[in-house]
Structure 1
Amino acid sequence: MITLLNDAPENVAAFNASGEIDQQDFKNIIIPHVNNKLARFDELNYLLYLNTDVEQTDIAWLTTLVSDLEKTKQCNRAAIVIDDAGLQKINSFKTKENFKIFSKDNVYSAMYWCNNGNEPEYSEK
């Protein structure tokens, strides 16, 4: 299931993914919210908090999502927040300057980066 992260900055489309994730989540939640952000800000700053056991989950949908984001001309920044085991699994994604993967320990740095384009000068630990 995918839900909105409502405490995200205004210019960030932020989502929490947990449990079973399917195409209806994209159709009913992600696409309308992303379109709303694009209409208001003319660029997409995107954050996905993966709150699921990635080692036990087929993440083919995530590969498609990242590929689609990389192709979107309006995609300014995109971040995925994931646990350490998941980091190992998705590290094979092509990373570009506007796409970053953050550990769950650095969720606030991820949100800050999506909002501002840089990371805070303080450490979260």
Structure 2
Amino acid sequence: MLKQIDDLPGHVLGVHAKGNVTRQDIKTILEPAVNNLVKVYGGLNYILLAESSIWEYTTGAMFAYLFLILRYYTKWNKVAVVADDKGIQMFTSAFRFLIPGVSKRFRFVQMDKAIQWIAKKDH
């Protein structure tokens, strides 16, 4: 399940993944939020708090996520992934080249640092 994180600066989109994440989650939660942020700010500063393990993402969710990344290829300014799951960390490392902006991984104990980094308007 995906849920948008509310208490972030307006130019930052935050999403919390917990439990099973499906294609429908990407289409109804993430995609509209990305569309809106691009319309308003022209770019994306995105933070993912991934409590879900990589095995809790359906194949449909993975493909929907990948297509969303590619659709907004030039709009990704900064991406922060906060996860302790090794699978999520490996996935984000493998697909880091798909995002032309800057991306960083953080562990859960570094959540405050991740929010400070993603909120800084340096891109």
Same-fold call, TM cutoff 0.5? yes
TM range (shorter): 0.7 to 0.9
- CA, structure 1 residues 23+52, in 2 after alignment: closer, same or farther (shift >3 Å)? same
Shift of 1:15: 0.2
Partner of 2:83: 82
Number of residue equivalences = 117
Could you list the runs of 5+ residues in structure 1 that have no partner in the other structure? 119-125
- CA, structure 1 residues 67+31, in 2 after alignment: closer, same or farther (shift >3 Å)? closer
* SS of equivalent to 2:30: helix
Q: Percent identity?
A: 26
Shift of 1:80: 0.8
Higher helix share: 2
The TM-score with structure 2 as length reference comes to 0.76
- The reply to whether residue 101 of structure 1 matches residue 101 of structure 2 is no
Structure 1 stretches of 4+ moved >6 Å: none
Instruction: Please give the alpha-carbon distance, in whole angstroms, between the structure 2 residues aligned to 1:88 and 1:75.
Output: 19
The TM-score with structure 1 as length reference comes to 0.75
Residue of structure 2 aligned with 1:111, choices 99, 115, 119: 115
Could you list the runs of 5+ residues in structure 2 that have no partner in the other structure? none
Partner of 1:121: none
Relative contact order, higher structure (CA 8 A, sep 6+): 2
